[in-house]
Structure 1
Amino acid sequence: MHWTTGPTPPSVGPVVITKTRSPIRSNVGLKAVMAVTGILLVLFLIAHMVGNLKAFAGETSFDHYAHWLRDLGKPLLPGVWFLWIMRAGLLVAVLAHIASATVLARRSRAARPIRYAHRPKVQGSYAARTMRWGGVIILLFVIYHLLDLSSGHLNPTDDPTKPYAAVVADFAPERWYVTLFYTLAIVTVGFHLRHGAFSAFRSLGQQTPKGERRARTAALVLAVTISVGYLAIPFAVLTGLVA
């Protein structure tokens, strides 16, 4: 029996080793970053909201809570280091959340370079279409909030040892523009949270019509609860309920 051989394969050139992308920079990694930072931010929003509502219990209760926050970490950490570590972590989480969302959005557009000839206006919710500029508004609000009620640089009071007085002075009727900006930021957070929570609930398996309705309702309840909780204080000061 004779075996026939095919043509000799051409010589193979030098092997080029390509650098693999870091797992955290992949789409799955970026979505994981968004999920983790999103959960951390929601937990912070809930805890911070509960603390803010102590203003309705009076000046003594609110100031005691604020001073307790400043003393966290003592004697291991000096002064208010724990608070500033937490604030830095919050800022990093916001930046990581925005950066991940931006990269994912750019990759999505790059994967579909040809736009639709006709795209219905109803495609996507209002929150989904405004996630990008909404993130910028939230970031600016976080920075302003830190300079206002945390460091006191933008607050009309000069005594940081009286947090309740700082809140009342901040949302006084003559400073209506602060309340307006605060309201815009919180409403933006609400839209952002509603869309993000709905997406998260759907990712957990709520993809049937009944499950989607449940996910939409749960996301709406969460967003409305947090938004109302945060807006209660400035409007209570504005109307004289907290003074």
Structure 2
Amino acid sequence: MVTSTISTERSAKTSSILLKTTMALTGLIFVGFILAHMYGNLMIFGGEDTFNEYAEHLRELGSPTIPHSGVLWVLRVVLLVSLALHAYAAFALWSRASGARQTRYAVRTAMRQVWISRAMRWGGVALLLFVVFHILHFTTNTIQINGDFADPAGRLVSSFEVWWAVLIYTAAVLALGMHLWHGIWAAGMTLGLNTSLAAAERLRIAAVAVAAVTVVGFLTPPWAILVGLVP
């Protein structure tokens, strides 16, 4: 009976490690995509023609060897699979944490850790909903905020001329920044990058830096458009 219990606990621990590793690796994929996406958004400061040329260039990657938009669709599939794995791992770990008996812990979890954990969970859910909204808005043009524009630049500029659209976007980016801050730190811990106090401090600084750059980089275009700095 004792052996069976130990085996079950080891299996559960191994499973949790695999889930955390899955979250870490898929999270790093998202970090790369987010930074590239942020760079692309900043192209709007070069003018609408520059932004549209950049958007078209993405569709022509690998041409003529690869069909039009082929690379873009490969990236979309990778991101969708990563998103599914990331969400599955997150909800599985969330379920396990919620179902654990409180008597198994000798000391109560610090309130700060509880707050961070809840913020990551519900922030992740909010980000997932925003991703759906974002795709329907900018990718498929299903949601039209301020007119129907076929070109990416026109859609971007017209949308962020509406104050409430900028506020929604701002809230989502702030949630993303918080998610990146803790997520990069947690991913580094999971992947064993905190080998010393100095390494742990570098990991913390990297997490803060990526989160800060992402927030500033993503919020600059919409607010610049709203106040009229982008024609």
Whether 2:62 is the aligned partner of 1:68: answer no
Higher helix share: 2
Residue-pair matches, total:
218
Whether 2:38 is the aligned partner of 1:49: answer yes
Does structure 1 retain, via aligned residues, the 8 Å contact 2:23–2:89? yes
Percent identical across equivalent pairs? 39
Alignment equivalent of 1:182, drawn from 169, 175, 198: 169
Per chain length, whose mean CA-contact separation is higher, i.e. which structure has more relative contact order (CA < 8 Å, sep 6+)? Answer: 2
Q: What is the alpha-carbon root mean square deviation over aligned residues?
A: 2.8
Deviation at 1:101, TM superposition (A): 1.4
Deviation at 1:84, TM superposition (A): 4.0
Equivalent residue runs for 1:98-177 within 5 Å: 98-114=87-103, 119=108, 122-124=111-113, 126-155=115-144, 156-160=146-150, 162-172=151-161, 175-177=162-164
- Describe the shift of the 1:139–1:76 C-alpha distance in structure 2 as closer, same or farther (beyond 3 A): farther
SS at match of 2:111: coil
Whether 2:181 is the aligned partner of 1:191: answer no
Does structure 2 retain, via aligned residues, the 8 Å contact 1:157–1:165? no
Q: Which residue type is aligned with residue 75 of structure 2?
A: M
Does structure 2 retain, via aligned residues, the 8 Å contact 1:127–1:191? no
Deviation at 1:143, TM superposition (A): 0.9
SS at match of 2:141: coil
TM-score, normalised with respect to structure 1: 0.78
Which sections of structure 2, spanning at least 5 residues, go unmatched? 1-10
Whether 2:82 is the aligned partner of 1:93: answer yes
> What is the CA–CA distance in structure 2 between the aligned matches of 1:59 and 1:51, rounded to whole Å?
12
- Corresponding residue for 1:6? none
- Corresponding residue for 1:30? 19
Deviation at 1:153, TM superposition (A): 1.6
Deviation at 1:222, TM superposition (A): 0.9
Whether 2:211 is the aligned partner of 1:223: answer yes
- Corresponding residue for 2:223? 235
- Which 10-residue stretch deviates more, 233-242 or 204-213? 204-213
Deviation at 1:114, TM superposition (A): 3.1
- Describe the shift of the 1:28–1:119 C-alpha distance in structure 2 as closer, same or farther (beyond 3 A): closer
Deviation at 1:213, TM superposition (A): 3.0
Does structure 1 retain, via aligned residues, the 8 Å contact 2:58–2:72? yes
Q: Which residue type is aligned with residue 187 of structure 1?
A: L
- Describe the shift of the 1:145–1:219 C-alpha distance in structure 2 as closer, same or farther (beyond 3 A): same
Q: Which residue type is aligned with residue 149 of structure 2?
A: D
- Which 10-residue stretch deviates more, 68-77 or 132-141? 68-77
Deviation at 1:216, TM superposition (A): 1.8
- Describe the shift of the 1:47–1:145 C-alpha distance in structure 2 as closer, same or farther (beyond 3 A): same
- The higher radius of gyration belongs to 1
SS at match of 2:177: helix
Does structure 1 retain, via aligned residues, the 8 Å contact 2:193–2:203? no
> What is the CA–CA distance in structure 2 between the aligned matches of 1:131 and 1:124, rounded to whole Å?
10
> What is the CA–CA distance in structure 2 between the aligned matches of 1:52 and 1:179, rounded to whole Å?
14
Deviation at 1:95, TM superposition (A): 2.6
- Describe the shift of the 1:234–1:218 C-alpha distance in structure 2 as closer, same or farther (beyond 3 A): same
Which sections of structure 1, spanning at least 5 residues, go unmatched? 1-21
Per-residue CA deviations over 1:83-110 (Å, capped at 9, x if unaligned) read 3443343233223212101212322344
TM-score, normalised with respect to structure 2: 0.82
Deviation at 1:214, TM superposition (A): 2.8
